[in-house]
Structure 1
Amino acid sequence: MSHKALVAAAAALACLATPSFAQEQVLNLYSARHYPTDEALYGNFTKATGIKINRVDSDDAGIMARLKAEGAASPADVILLVDAARLYKGEVEGLFKPVKSKALEEAIPAQYRGKPTAEGTPWFGFSTRARVVVYDKNKVQRQDVDTYEELADAKNKGRICIRSGSHPYNLSLFGAITEHLGEAKAQDWIRGLKDNLARDPKGGDTDQIKAVAAGECQVAVSNSYYVARLMRSAKPEDRAVMEKVAVVFPNQQTWGTHLNIAGGAVAKNSKNTDAAVKFLEYLASPEAQNHFANGNNEWPTAKGVKVSNPALEAMSGGGDFKAETIPLAAVGANQVKVQQMLDRAGFK
């Protein structure tokens, strides 16, 4: 074969090979969701679309810092965060690329989305978790802890365990309470809550539940999925903890129980926007929404999705409870005020 013929043959082979390389897409995901059960979620997306997921794990704050440091050179395509305040912060700091998606807009209620603009919506919430009260059922009357306001009442002095007030889960709860009560009353509430602590804030939500069971305190605040994990645990010691405590969804007669959210956005500098939007749309699908409910004991946000999780149903007395309806973007917007109130109260 002549040199010219060899070159032509090589060129033809290159053309034949090009489509297979072009079809292999990789989505770079920065995720604050550290739940082993999510592996199946990502695997199912790859099976359905052929798009591989390259995941980088960190917490919300670490992801935000990384995005800022990387700037326009960031390889991130999709961001998953687990707190309304952080999602709001990412929105106002311009770290997300607004999305226009009929599928997402139809599936996710407006209260679980970022503020829309002409360019699109900056983020969407895909699952919720309630901020519930756990109490010693032998020492505390349910009616003494069935509202958030009562956590700051003198009748609960010396009873309460809670993680750091500056943790995102509490910043969001306190931001919601500020939205409901106004800043002046919320400041008084934070001071009252601090005065009622049985010990200095420390540990995570599971530690607070176990502290109630161990008698260190009598009342704790926790995200609902931590409670459900202990309820579903195969460890006898975890189930023994849950036999000593009871759970209440606060404010059922007023504004409803506070919900925090896990949500996602397309990274501002994504080089793979179409695949990123496809992934977000997948997270709003009934398959993925059921996975959030059963895999990590969260409630789906998408309209019309029915799930069955015995732990969630048992915890909430049948599965139905009144949730607050204020926009989570407004909750996030209060986080700076809340941190200032915590500082004024000396709340760690």
Structure 2
Amino acid sequence: MKIKMLVLACSAFVAQSALAAGEVNVYSNRQDELIKPIIQQFEQESGIKVNVVFAKEGLNERLEREGKLSPADLMLTVDISRLTDLVDKGLVQPVDSKILQENIPAVYRDPANQWFALTTRVRAIYSSKERLGKLDNIRYEDLVKPEFKGKICTRSGKHEYNVALVSSMIAYHGMADTKQWLEGLKANLARKPQGNDRDQVKAIKDGICDISLGNSYYLGAMLKDPAQKAWAEAVDINFPNQGDRGAHVNVSGVAMTKYAKNKAEAQKLMEFLASDTAQHLYADANAEYPVKAGVEPSAMVKSWGSFKPDALPVSDYAKHRKDALQLLDEVKFDL
């Protein structure tokens, strides 16, 4: 009996060890409903268990605080600022993967392979269908024109989505010209910066303004929400700078943590996220654009029309984040 119990105990230990070896732990800023179908598909195909901790904010700080004791193997996050923050703080490590390098264009990954974009989203310009219509030739630079005086709404200039846009303006125009642009944009605002990107579209619907800045995927989110569908239907989405450098894009992405305990499993999940299957799921779930060439966006997103994205590597404009924040302070953009 004792021998049988010992054999059973050893078998249970081996089974538990095998299970532990087949796990990957993820910290995610992406909402659960957006990544759940992708995670479930990966688990089904790989047999690897994925444990996800979701938080809208504070995960970079948590990872830093936990140090070597952190259970996290991967960080799934949104916005280039959060990805570069992980690199700057030494919280992630390079991943040498031929699959990731082949599936993800160089402009959408870290030069040292410490993070990889999974989707892109355009910093679009929304316009009132009723009062302005489609603005086919609009440029970000045009938002300072006198014709738009008192007609523009935006969220805080210091929100990461706007900081990234300002950073890209610095990359192209330098500090002095970008400061002048910010001053002109502020002068054309219909109200003090406030709310989120959806609130700006609502403001257009309500007649408060005629133009707003907002990420492209929010249009898809509003169209799917019965309470917000009327807001979305009141605007046209415009892809700026199609006659020159292309529309500014930001990214969602993934990085392997510095002290990942399940590196092999984590890399498999990273590679799956860059596969055709996951890229399609991402595109359909969140109205975003896949980074992998040849993977089509959802039918809804395709209906908005094609566009030329800015070819500037996201890591290049990310270098100007501190400069962007400095200029936003200097012009007192949010005040």
Q: 2:138, 2:238 within 8 Å by CA — same for their partners in 1?
A: yes
Is 1:139 the counterpart of 2:131? The answer is yes
Aligned partner of 2:15 in structure 1 is: 20
Aligned partner of 2:282 in structure 1 is: 292
Please report how far the alpha carbon of residue 256 of structure 1 lies from its aligned counterpart in structure 2 after TM superposition: 0.4
Distance 2:128 2:270 in 1: 40
Aligned partner of 1:38 in structure 2 is: 35
SS class of match (1:182): helix
Distance 1:81 1:242 in 2: 26
Aligned partner of 2:187 in structure 1 is: 195
Q: Any idea what the Cα deviations from partners look like across 1:11-70, whole Å, max 9, x if unmatched?
A: 4434433432222133221101015132111111112222222211123x5111111111
- Selected match of 1:302 from 265, 269, 292: 292
Distance 1:212 1:333 in 2: 33
Q: Any idea what the Cα deviations from partners look like across 1:131-170, whole Å, max 9, x if unmatched?
A: 1111112322644971100112222111111011111111
Q: 1:83, 1:261 within 8 Å by CA — same for their partners in 2?
A: yes
Is 1:111 the counterpart of 2:107? The answer is yes
Aligned partner of 2:300 in structure 1 is: 311
Distance 1:144 1:326 in 2: 22
The residue type equivalent to 2:83 in the other structure is L
Q: How many residue pairs end up in the alignment?
A: 332
Is 1:124 the counterpart of 2:116? The answer is yes
The TM-score with structure 1 as length reference comes to: 0.91
Please report how far the alpha carbon of residue 10 of structure 1 lies from its aligned counterpart in structure 2 after TM superposition: 4.3
- Selected match of 1:151 from 132, 143, 147: 143
Distance 1:194 1:104 in 2: 41
Q: 1:80, 1:264 within 8 Å by CA — same for their partners in 2?
A: yes
Aligned partner of 2:175 in structure 1 is: 183
Distance 2:154 2:320 in 1: 20
Q: Any idea what the Cα deviations from partners look like across 1:214-268, whole Å, max 9, x if unmatched?
A: 11111101101101222344x2x53322332211100000110011100000111
Distance 1:280 1:192 in 2: 42
Which deviates the most, 139-148 or 123-132?
A: 139-148
Which deviates the most, 190-199 or 19-28?
A: 19-28
Please report how far the alpha carbon of residue 9 of structure 1 lies from its aligned counterpart in structure 2 after TM superposition: 4.3
Q: 2:154, 2:197 within 8 Å by CA — same for their partners in 1?
A: yes
Name the larger-Rg structure: 1
CA RMSD of aligned residues (A): 1.8
Q: Could you tell me which runs of 5 or more consecutive residues in structure 1 were left unpaired when the two chains were aligned.
A: none
In the TM superposition, what are the counterparts of 1:249-268 in structure 2 within 5 Å?
249-268=239-258
Which deviates the most, 9-18 or 202-211?
A: 9-18
Distance 1:206 1:326 in 2: 27
Please report how far the alpha carbon of residue 342 of structure 1 lies from its aligned counterpart in structure 2 after TM superposition: 0.2
Aligned partner of 1:346 in structure 2 is: 332
Please report how far the alpha carbon of residue 298 of structure 1 lies from its aligned counterpart in structure 2 after TM superposition: 0.5
Q: 1:133, 1:145 within 8 Å by CA — same for their partners in 2?
A: no
Aligned partner of 2:262 in structure 1 is: 272
Aligned partner of 1:323 in structure 2 is: 309
Please report how far the alpha carbon of residue 86 of structure 1 lies from its aligned counterpart in structure 2 after TM superposition: 1.6
Distance 1:223 1:155 in 2: 23
Distance 2:219 2:45 in 1: 33
The TM-score with structure 2 as length reference comes to: 0.94
- Selected match of 2:199 from 178, 202, 207: 207
Distance 2:44 2:235 in 1: 42
Distance 1:199 1:134 in 2: 16
Distance 1:195 1:9 in 2: 81
1:145/1:321 CA distance change after superposition, 3 Å: closer
